[in-house]
Amino acid sequence: MDILTIKGFLKENIDRVYGELSTYEPLLRITADKAVIIGDLHGDVDTLLRIINNYSPDKWIYIMLGDYVDRGEHQIETLYLALRLFLEHKAILLRGNHESPLTNYEYGFYTELLRKFGHYDGDYVYDKLKEVFAQMPISVILNDKYFLVHGGLPINNISIDSIAKLPKPDEIPSNEITFQLLWNDPSDEVKYYEHNVIRGPGTYVFGPVLTENFLNSSGLRIIIRGHEYTPRGYKWNHGNKVLTIFTSRAGPYSAAEPHVILLDGESLNIVGVS
């Protein structure tokens, strides 16, 4: 993939991407017969290319759970393909905790932009991308059954209505609920919630009681999320109510087996990407 082409594409299309994303609500309701749900990519463009090759975006609706950038070797290329899927195939690009200046200066994306685009263009493009990230939607309700989000549930028993009213744009994000939706992890070791000492201040692990409350009050069946490295490519928590999908073997995740979720009619299948 030619870096000059990507730079040209970004400079030409970034305002259009921003404009279209800014019309999206933080919570989307989507109905689909065939959908591919993709977890963290973290710059793994090879895996994304395989997915595109295996599941034509003309036939499948792409729902991406965020964390396109940071950590891997090809973050710009991965984001470029995701944005093309968005513009050309109406892919849903949810926001991950790595679509934020909070992580991009520290975990590689900003550095990769400066290195591949040069300092002037890299800085210019990053300033625009920060604004694009802040306009990405936070969650999806798919087919009135599945709740899709990057991280997990906030600790204070929030309703679907309150998610729909979250402020956007929110660059860091500074809103606690948005922050936790992007950062929290499920745990089978706690009943309600605890501070997440690994991820740091403001992040929590949430237990099965919170999941049960949320699904019961919203009438939904399963929470589908990314965010957590799992070598097998997926895992279940909370008695098969929370499904984690992981779709990267880039950078530190070279031992992982990337997986995606295929929604095909009524069935939900977890499949490896090869």
Report the catalytic residues: 98
7 versus 225: smaller Cβ distance to Mn ion: 225
CB of 40 to Mn ion, least distance (A): 6
CB of 86 to Mn ion, least distance (A): 19
Residues facing residue 267 across a β-bridge: 264
36 versus 41: smaller Cβ distance to Mn ion: 41
The binding site for Mn ion (CB under 5 A) comprises 67, 96-97, 227
- Burial class of 138 by CB neighbour count within 10 A (0 to 12, 13 to 18, 19+): buried
Distance, in Å, from the CA atom of 81 to the CA atom of 87, rounded to the nearest integer, reads 10
67 versus 117: smaller Cβ distance to Mn ion: 67
Quickly tell me which residue has 């950590």 as its tokens: 71
Q: Which helix (H) or strand (E) holds 271?
A: strand 267-272
Structure tokens at 101: 């200046």
DSSP 91: -
Q: At what angle do helices 119-134 and 109-117 cross, to 10 degrees?
A: 140
- Report the candidate in 166, 268, 167, 154 with the shortest Cα–Cα distance to residue 213: 154
Distance, in Å, from the CA atom of 260 to the CA atom of 17, rounded to the nearest integer, reads 25
What is the phi/psi pair of residue 242, to 5°? -125, 120
97 versus 248: smaller Cβ distance to Mn ion: 97
Q: Residue 84 contacts by C-beta under 8 Å, 6 or more apart in sequence?
A: 9
CB of 66 to Mn ion, least distance (A): 7
CB of 271 to Mn ion, least distance (A): 21
135 versus 248: smaller Cβ distance to Mn ion: 248
Structure tokens at 190: 């706690």
> Measured at CB, which residue is nearest to Mn ion?
227
CB of 161 to Mn ion, least distance (A): 25
